[in-house]
Structure 1
Amino acid sequence: MLKWALFFAVIAVIAGLLGFTGIAAGAAAIAKFLFVVFLILCVVFLVLGFIVTKKMID
Structure 2
Amino acid sequence: LTTEWAYAQTYRSEAERAGTYQHWLHHYNHHRPHTGIGGMTPIDRLRVHNLPVKNM
Q: Please indicate, yes or no, whether the TM-score normalized by the shorter chain is above 0.5.
A: no
What TM-score, normalized by structure 1, do the two folds share? 0.37
Larger Rg: 1
Structure of higher RCO (CA pairs closer than 8 Å, 6+ residues apart): 1
